[in-house]
């Protein structure tokens, strides 16, 4: 089988060379779609392929991905990012997969690794992700009566590990896209809202919280919202109010969150508030609740590293 590597890139001169070098052994063609680089990205790509295309950036990664996929000619498409790479062991695993993959398999998942570094939004260091896709899908009728087309893809979980080594944090770029969607009145799916919460809470600046606050205030008042989604929206509103010094509003959302079931993030925010006020006994109570009485919903560190470090720091000051 032949593999088309499809990538979208922009200003990736810091990591693209090592990425493409690791993909050459497994690729039958490499397609690079550039969305507006102003550095040497395209020159680096030219060392490995002549299939380099321009795509006018429209703040939509899916459109760029779809364009890159439309240029592929292989049996399978490997979707790569410039800050990923394969080491020698996983190149060998990939070549083994390439030699033995059954044609009925439509998606191959691989382990995405090294996620807990570089201030990413992920709360895990290793997870399976779909990375290899059959380019042309075959549809088959199933069931002896009331027949229907089988729409469920055949997925194989491989043992291949992809090393993720971003040269920079992309949260600022992503937050601008979210803010643009809100400005245009576009609806965010539940999945995108979850990602927005994480990127905002973990890497957002005060101005990002200010732009996001109306959206999450509306979510807090939305009927039928799931409890965890409500708590995430409350946390964003609490932090936005805290960043502007609006204490009354901050405690409004803090009390609403605690009355629901609370979360480690809410407790950490209250712990930080009281520690800033040098009310260390009160701060320790909230940090204790963050570590031992509640669970994190957004940032796993709020249930462990952050409150435990604060407890160690402030307990002697009570």
Structure tokens at 209: 């919280």
Mean of pLDDT values over 114-130: 66
What's the CA gap between 17 and 37, in Å, rounded?
15
Domain boundary among 100, 133, 164: 164
State percent of the chain over pLDDT 70.
94
What percent of the chain is predicted at pLDDT more than 90?
A: 82
Handedness of CA 171, 176, 181, 182 (dihedral sign): positive
166 has a pLDDT exceeding 90:
no
Mean pLDDT for 110-139 is 78
Q: Are residues 179 and 142 in the same domain?
A: no
Same domain, 140 and 241: no
Q: 161 with 111: CB under 8 angstroms? A: yes
Which pLDDT does position 172 carry in this prediction? 78
| pLDDT exceeds cutoff 90 at 167 | no
What CATH number does the domain containing 282 carry? 1.25.40
Residue 9 confidence class, pLDDT cut points 50, 70, 90: very high
> What mean pLDDT is predicted for residues 192-217?
95
Domain extent for 274: 171-317
- pLDDT at 298 > cutoff 80: yes
pLDDT over 70 at 124, yes or no: no
Q: Which whole number is the average pLDDT over 269-277?
A: 96
- Give the pTM: 0.78
Structural domains in the chain (count): 2
Same domain? 101 vs 226: no
């Amino acid at each position: 089988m032949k593999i088309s590597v499809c990538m979208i890139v922009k200003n990736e001169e810091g990591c693209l060379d090592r990425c493409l070098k690791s993909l050459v052994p497994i690729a039958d063609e490499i397609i690079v779609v550039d969305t507006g680089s102003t550095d040497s990205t395209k020159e680096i790509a030219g060392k490995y392929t002549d299939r380099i295309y321009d795509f006018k950036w429209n703040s939509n990664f899916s459109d760029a991905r779809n364009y890159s996929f439309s240029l592929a000619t292989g049996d399978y498409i490997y979707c790569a990012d410039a800050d990923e790479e394969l080491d020698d062991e996983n190149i060998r695993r990939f070549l083994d997969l390439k030699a033995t993959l059954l044609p009925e398999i439509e998606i191959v998942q691989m382990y995405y690794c090294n996620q807990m570094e570089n201030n990413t939004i992920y709360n895990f260091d290793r997870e399976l992700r779909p990375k290899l896709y059959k380019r042309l899908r075959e549809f088959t009728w199933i069931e002896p009566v009331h027949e229907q087309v089988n729409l469920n893809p055949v997925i194989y979980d491989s043992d291949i590990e992809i090393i993720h080594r971003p040269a920079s944090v992309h949260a600022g770029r992503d937050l601008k896209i979210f803010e643009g969607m809100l400005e245009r009145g576009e609806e965010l799916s539940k999945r995108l809202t979850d990602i927005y919460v994480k990127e905002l809470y973990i890497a957002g600046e005060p101005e990002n919280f200010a732009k996001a606050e109306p959206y999450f205030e509306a979510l807090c008042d939305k009927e039928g919202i799931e409890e965890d989604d409500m708590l995430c929206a409350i946390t964003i509103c609490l932090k936005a109010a805290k960043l502007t010094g609006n204490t009354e509003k901050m405690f409004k959302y803090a009390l609403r969150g605690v009355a629901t079931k609370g979360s480690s993030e809410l407790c950490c925010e209250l712990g930080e508030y009281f520690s800033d006020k040098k009310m260390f006994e009160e701060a320790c109570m909230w940090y204790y609740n963050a570590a031992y009485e509640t669970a994190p919903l957004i940032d796993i560190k709020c249930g462990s590293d952050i409150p435990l470090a604060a407890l160690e720091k402030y307990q002697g000051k009570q």
